[in-house]
Structure 1
């Protein structure tokens, strides 16, 4: 009998770091999604708004490249953000054929509140750990992430 058959197969699956990290990540995403919903945002909207705030004014095509999202999805997300008064699209001064997206003052304030809500959600996620254990977990996850990011560097 192999590890994939009979008793122990589920226990083996649950012993894999990839399974455990995925489950914890899903719980964390759910906590943050629930928290930022108080501001009327879904996680993809929050991501696009944060990217616009950090890189704006930014061309829509640049947002697509930076975020690795489908262009049609970014347009829909920007429509939502613009309708909510959180971002605006205007002709790009460098190339009038393109739109540049900028975060509004209301968008900046929303991002500040979302940051606080996300911090609280993550504190809840890590609440079973001491402060030192939480820092250690973050250091270890960062090391794994950076090693993987290093594999993709040219």
Structure 2
């Protein structure tokens, strides 16, 4: 008979969670060389992709609580990586944009994250890496679609 702990540790959800934690830790350690955390990297990347944009829109795109986003942006602005200015169309809003130093930092973070992910995937062959990424992509899509369905159904759905 299998112990309860062994059963839990054999579940795909448990294994994926443990592996994901290791991957996040590797990337977090790499980004620390730039004095940044994972969330800072995401804010820089989103600002680069969508910016300049309203601070509230940035928070929504990244699903970051507004209070948490303020702290992240304060750190990034103090480091000279982003600029927040009042939106000319609505001075109650802040517009966030990437500075040239922020773009340089984002590029370095991209290299660091890529190197960390290469270390993370090192136990796998190139074919296994491609297979893993394809399967994770399918699971992520299904999870995203399921979350959208749950949101559309409302909180009273069974």
TM-score normalised according to structure 1 size: 0.92
How many residues are treated as equivalent by the alignment? 149
Runs of 4+ in 1 over 4 A off after TM superposition: none
> What is the rounded CA distance, in whole Å, between the counterparts of 2:115 and 2:60 in structure 1?
30
TM-score normalised according to structure 2 size: 0.90
Residue 90 of structure 1: SS of its match in structure 2?
strand
- What whole-Å deviation, never above 9, does each CA across 1:68-108 have from its counterpart, x for those lacking one? 11111101110000000000001113322211000001101
Please tell me the root mean square deviation across aligned C-alpha atoms, in Å.
1.3
Name 1:15's counterpart in structure 2: 10
- What whole-Å deviation, never above 9, does each CA across 1:20-59 have from its counterpart, x for those lacking one? 0000000000000000111111111111121111111111
Q: Which segment drifts farther, 58-67 or 106-115? A: 58-67
Following superposition of structure 1 onto structure 2, how do residues 106-117 of structure 1 map, counting pairs within 5 Å? 106-117=101-112
Name 1:49's counterpart in structure 2: 44
> What is the rounded CA distance, in whole Å, between the counterparts of 2:85 and 2:60 in structure 1?
19
Following superposition of structure 1 onto structure 2, how do residues 16-35 of structure 1 map, counting pairs within 5 Å? 16-35=11-30
Q: 1:84 aligns with which of 76, 79, 97?
A: 79
Q: Structure 2, unaligned stretches of length 5 or more?
A: 153-158
Say whether 1:142 aligns with 2:137. yes
